[in-house]
Structure 1
């Protein structure tokens, strides 16, 4: 049975379920981010509710606005804190980190569990085979109140990754290549089970990168196979008899670049060689873990960020930040000329600095490069892995495969 069917069945009475079926499930955990907490609080107020189904299973993360840029957002955060206090739920304060990164670190995602979050990249939990669902405010509020949610069981496709890429090609590059090769149509509102030797060998950090980009594929949820650093209880990924299998060959795949203004507008890095870059951002729930910070710090050690490049690095969590300090990564980044910020979503969403200037070309490790995503529709945002971003920060341009090798 497909993993998503198995999880939903276990949370809805135990009877087998089929794709397309509408079911009510019990949820294990629910979390909210500060940006939509006031909307959810209003739903609670409008329905005369002031409690949740389980205080230990509900959390509010303050990650989208860590350093408040204006009075309106400061007041919104104050409202969110008051709401959390009223409910008595767990609070992850400003500086704790990005909700999805911290949730993975702290065991909020467990194999076989259903976790709902009020942010689309909740799908990150698929790295450890949690049915992790980004949902809208109404669904999140209902789940917080009742511990239940209704779902349409998604169909499942198995994505078989064949071969291995170049040594300088990262997990982010492979997902961008899948988007470029297959598009979104085959994944829309489907559960995607990744498989193949390359996927099975991914570190947990890299697996989280792949899982976080599930929503960019258009998927309802994603599941990655067991591997190093994973919790107990993860299932072997094996297609159902007659199941739909998609194949993508990544043999000798080079790093990829997503051009403005879509994550699916993807080309090989060599097609973008020498494109000048004004601003490099390393961060977001997709590429802000220790492995990502290490890639950038190792390259920047003994080098300098170009005088005409603004290089911003935002660790995904306090734990990542502290370990990066211990390993000397933060010193290396700072000495090279990068600006390191407190953990959080940072520049990814564009509601706080650093916002790019008109005409800036930004090379970012985040997940989306929609027009205006970082707060300025007159800037161009390109997406890459942290390794490629580090090279661009030093040289002021997108490198070639040869440069990376």
Structure 2
């Protein structure tokens, strides 16, 4: 591993047993961990059966997380979950049952993501590992099955792009707003199958929860992987995280940035919240692997501490993990949310995937803290889904409408 190389190159080289690798090379690498989610575990189980496979490279480094269907909505899904459970038990892998939380949130809490590690997940938001400089790669069923058996995978060493955030944003701006602004300004083209290294004082000053929010949306950017700089409050990372002299550096000024809202049906179509201020909101969902951590719930509880949810708003709060749920309860946040009229659900993906409640009605306007708002994402293609930070979403839940920036406190 050569310090001074892009982080993706350093990590790939270390896992390929080489001193260095070149951008664009096809490389076989060892993996540190593999984790699966319940939605595609049955598909992977069938691949094992079809190919006569019955063991994995290391059961201690493979985990099944049941997060997409915590409150099972029907018999068909119940049968799929039982199939996935039997599969995991037969392999001797670790099982995190329904209610344990979202795989990517758990992966950070459990230390599956470590600086310099290479981790595969059967879910696209495995890129969350970049919050602590882990190369988290979401892969499909076939690649995951192969890695489970061999402990290895292959990849093309991605080109690296550096994204430097400049300036100090408005006090109501959160990490989610900056990512939405990056998507608005750049789209996906500069980031497709690239490693994105966020640099600058803003990125270095993020809490671990906020860094995870940024990293989780790497897949929305189209990136192969993303990395945040090492910072106080986060595990010591690899060095350096500064672009070399001839590097491709994109500049994102945020000095004039205000809280953002992504319009239906794309996270790229974002506008300042003032552009939609006053429009009604029917349903607020606070959760997902992007914004369901303790920092997010604490901020929502702060907004609802002395103001109830608007009577015309259905407000759902889904903590990202059991650990988050219990700590939020210990601090009194869940009592505040419940007393204010919010519906607090068991930990998991919740309404984000649209396979379990609450599915919005046709024509309803939803303001969500999720990472994507494609048509039908929450289970109803006739609903309008907007995206925002938890701060904006909580304020909208109180007002019953999109707030103006001056109302977001």
Q: Give the TM-score taking structure 2 as reference length.
A: 0.98
Structure 1: state its 5+ residue gaps: none
Counterpart of 1:108 in structure 2 is 112
5+ unaligned residues in a row in structure 2: which ranges?
Answer: none
Aligned-pair distance for 1:60? 0.3
Aligned partners of 1:114 and 1:132 also within 8 Å: yes
C-alpha deviation, 1:17, in angstroms = 1.0
Q: C-alpha separation between the residues in 1 aligned to 2:312 and 2:335? A: 21
Task: State yes or no: 1:221 paired with 2:225.
Answer: yes
- Cα deviation for residue 105 of structure 1 reads 0.6
The runs of at least 4 consecutive aligned structure 1 residues that moved more than 4 Å come to none
SS at match of 1:116: strand
**Contact 1:347-1:353 within 8 A present in 2 as well:** yes
Native 8 Å contact 1:128 1:234 kept in 2: no
Whether the 8 Å contact between 1:162 and 1:249 is mirrored in structure 2 is: yes
1:78-117 equivalences in 2 (<5 Å)? 78-117=82-121
| Residues 155-200 of structure 1 deviation map (CA, whole Å, 9 limit, x = unaligned) | 0000010011111100000000001011110000000000010110
Partner of 1:36: 40
Instruction: State yes or no: 1:394 paired with 2:398.
Output: yes
Aligned mates of 1:40, 1:235 — CA distance in 2: 36
Equivalent residues, number:
405
CA distance in 2, matches of 1:308, 1:152: 50
Following superposition, the deviation at residue 241 of structure 1 comes to: 3.0
Is 1:26 aligned to residue 30 of structure 2? yes
- Secondary structure (helix, strand or coil) at the match of 1:353 reads coil
Range that drifts further, 13-22 or 39-48: 13-22
CA offsets 1:1-45 (integer angstroms, 9 cap, x no match): 100001001111213211111010000000000000000001111
The residue correspondences of 1:1-400 to structure 2 (distance < 5 A) are 1-400=5-404
**What is the CA distance between 1:235 and its match in structure 2?**
2.7
Distance 1:83 1:234 in 2: 36
Contact 1:226 1:236 in 2 (8 A): no
Q: Secondary structure at the match of 1:11?
A: helix
Deviation at 1:231, TM superposition (A): 1.6
Whether the aligned pair in 1 keeps the contact of 2:182 and 2:252 (CA below 8 Å) is yes
Using the alignment, how far apart are the partners of 2:278 and 2:122 within structure 1? 39
Supply the distance in 2 between the matched residues of 1:403 and 1:375 (Cα, whole angstroms). 31
Q: Please say if residues 285 and 315 of structure 2, whose CA atoms lie closer than 8 Å, have aligned partners that are also in contact.
A: yes
Mapped to 1, the partners of 2:387 and 2:398 lie a distance apart of 17
> 1:47 Cα shift?
1.0
- For 1:28 and 1:10, the matched residues in 2 are separated by 11
Determine the C-alpha separation between the residues in 2 that align with 1:233 and 1:14. Answer: 20
Deviates more, 1:3-12 or 1:227-236: 227-236
Q: What does the per-residue CA deviation read over 1:41-60, in whole Å, with 9 as the maximum and x for residues that have no partner?
A: 01111111111101111000
Partners in 2 of 1:39 and 1:120 — Cα distance?
16
- Give the match's secondary structure for 2:16: coil
In the TM superposition, residue 275 of structure 1 has moved relative to its aligned partner by: 1.3
**Equivalent-residue separation in structure 2 for 1:102 and 1:279 (angstroms):** 27
